[in-house]
Structure 1
Amino acid sequence: MEGGVRVRQHGFGWLAAVGISLSLCMPAAAEPLPIQMHRAVYELSLGRTEMASDINGLDGRMVVEWQGGPACGGYTMMQRMVMRFGGEGGGVTSDSRLSTFETEASDEFSYTLTEYLGGELTSREGGIARRGKDGRVTLEREGEEVVTLHPETLFPIASMRAWIESMRRGDRIFEQIYFDGTEEKEKRVSVFVTGPGTSPTASGVKGGELLEELAGWNTHASYFDLDNTEGLPDFEMSFTLFANGVSSDLRLNYTELEIKARLSEITFFSEGPC
């Protein structure tokens, strides 16, 4: 669509897919937080648009699936986001596919991001990030020079574990430095826990009976470039985060539009296959 908004996948896959069966008030665990594998399906719709945008309609679906576990040496994630945009110049369909692998120790993270627009391949990129024994974090992309990321950079699994630990301590505001392959470099993420969520947000979710029994927290995250200390965030996201790590009622705020993602179905897996 001429003049349309390019909406890339952002770091919300782990929010939708990581299962942590823990309570906010529990003491800090000595062992890494356990992660329950599952598939989450979200129905997408248009929230708000700015005057500068020519988009007047949006629908689609996002599916996120995690497999693997400690016995497998790490976790694989597949995330696909298909959206149909409507506008004055007609309509177009975008299709973004992200696949990743992160080791259990979170010392290596690989990813491939493929994007289609109107059925035509527009980009395919990927790389491998590694954390050395000296703490140095490097990112290698095919055909490009190796770059160094911030030494405190977390990959998706480690990021979620740190996030949950902060919430269990009762922290309401905290920050992370985060990389998931959807941007050129790492981002600084400011997280605000705005209040308790409510279990009725899970009503109507196929396979979501477990969610009705869990506490939830309303959460807002803002993503910034590392050198952006005072400006507006590049991307914002709000959602309800349940105590097992599943998210619902996502709102993805880009510069010119907001996308709503409603959890419609969830399937929990046993650990594996490897």
Structure 2
Amino acid sequence: MLRVPNFMTLAGMGMTLAGTLASLSGTAAAAGIGGHKLVPHRAVYDMKLGDSKDSSGIAGLNGRMVYDFSGNACEGYSVNFRFVTQFQDADGGSQITDLQTTSFEEPSAASYQFLSKTFVDQELVEATRGTARAGDGARTIELKEPSEKSLEIGKEVLFPTEHLLTIMKAADEGVHFFAADIFDGAETGEKVYATTTVIGARAVSPDPGGTKSPEARLAGMNYWPVTVAYFDPSEEDASGELLPVYQLSFWLYQNGISGRLKLDYGDFTIQGKMASLELYDEANCPGE
């Protein structure tokens, strides 16, 4: 059988990435963080195998990721996300994983609705659906799939847009490292990840000069290089240390668009290059 990374982990990574790419919500986002105007958009990324160790069992990988963001700070934000990857092993076997997610986050992170479906070789293997809500003492999750269940998570656990808001606020304040727990509905809808985020120095996107690359539209714009490491608190080793399940690295532009993606699983990486970028008309909040 083809040895690929656990596809549920891959699905969780994809859903987490969808959340990480999500734009900001709440009053601060409406005004822009540090003067940043975040734009609704649709970005398509071509995904391919980067570095790979023999232990990964992966001889080849290609795929495509589509990220569609819309909404505004008054009405909330919607994200539609699809991540399709085909893995090949050294014997020529292959496997296709197809993650499809939709999510909606209310202004000020009052609630977070999520739905995800994971297909392997066109067969549905997992579906997750539920709503997480903010509360005074804790945040509550009401799951509908894969089974009906209610649970609580810590009050300090962040939803995806809150997490990105924290990244951008930290970047503006010159903070280069912070830790946070996040919930994004990944896997069975019960997992809370511990994360650490490293933010590089602000830079200006170079002009590629004559290229038709979609990232040429972002030339001259400020960005930060960001790396987010995700840890599963239940997977401590014998010494009590945690190793990251995976790491996401990307350029975070001042308008909320992400480029230069890299997904690092330890024994292999996936590189994401922007293939197309469509900017939607912005719907301003009343009074703007």
- 1:222 is matched by which residue type in structure 2? A
Tell me how far 1:66 sits from its aligned partner.
0.8
Q: Secondary structure, in 3 states, of the residue corresponding to 2:56? A: coil
Gap change, CA 1:181 and 1:93, over 3 Å in 2: same
Distance 1:17 1:41 in 2: 14
Gap change, CA 1:4 and 1:30, over 3 Å in 2: closer
Which residue matches 2:122?
Answer: 119
Matches within 5 A, 1:189-268: 189-200=195-206, 204=211, 206-226=213-233, 230-268=241-279
Q: Secondary structure, in 3 states, of the residue corresponding to 1:12? A: helix
Tell me how far 1:41 sits from its aligned partner.
0.9
Query: Do 1:17 and 1:38's aligned partners in 2 also have CA atoms closer than 8 Å?
Result: no
Tell me how far 1:62 sits from its aligned partner.
0.2
Tell me how far 1:18 sits from its aligned partner.
2.8
Tell me how far 1:272 sits from its aligned partner.
5.2
Distance 1:29 1:96 in 2: 28
Q: Larger % of helix: which? A: 2
Query: Do 1:114 and 1:123's aligned partners in 2 also have CA atoms closer than 8 Å?
Result: yes
Residues 59-112 of structure 1: CA distance to partner in whole angstroms, max 9, x if unpaired?
1110000112134x2111011001111112511211110110110121110111
Residues 137-196 of structure 1: CA distance to partner in whole angstroms, max 9, x if unpaired?
011212343111121111122221121111111111112221111243221211112344
Gap change, CA 1:108 and 1:29, over 3 Å in 2: closer
Pair 1:150 & 2:154 matched? yes
Pair 1:177 & 2:173 matched? no
Query: Do 1:17 and 1:65's aligned partners in 2 also have CA atoms closer than 8 Å?
Result: no
Which residue matches 2:23?
Answer: 18
Q: TM-score, normalised by structure 1?
A: 0.86
Which residue matches 1:23?
Answer: none
RMSD, matched Cα: 2.7
Distance 2:215 2:22 in 1: 13
Unaligned runs of 5+ in 1: 21-27
Matches within 5 A, 1:14-93: 14-16=19-21, 18=23, 33=33, 35-71=38-74, 73-87=75-89, 88-93=91-96
Q: Secondary structure, in 3 states, of the residue corresponding to 2:109? A: coil
Query: Do 1:17 and 1:40's aligned partners in 2 also have CA atoms closer than 8 Å?
Result: no
Query: Do 1:40 and 1:64's aligned partners in 2 also have CA atoms closer than 8 Å?
Result: yes
Query: Do 1:19 and 1:244's aligned partners in 2 also have CA atoms closer than 8 Å?
Result: no
Percent identity of paired positions between Structure 1 and Structure 2? 28
Residues 7-48 of structure 1: CA distance to partner in whole angstroms, max 9, x if unpaired?
22242224445389xxxxxxx889575642111111100012
Gap change, CA 1:93 and 1:205, over 3 Å in 2: farther
Query: Do 2:79 and 2:103's aligned partners in 1 also have CA atoms closer than 8 Å?
Result: yes
Query: Do 1:205 and 1:265's aligned partners in 2 also have CA atoms closer than 8 Å?
Result: no
Distance 2:29 2:85 in 1: 40
User: Of the candidates 131, 136, 143, which is equivalent to residue 128 of structure 1?
Assistant: 131
Q: Secondary structure, in 3 states, of the residue corresponding to 2:165? A: helix
- 2:150 is matched by which residue type in structure 1? V
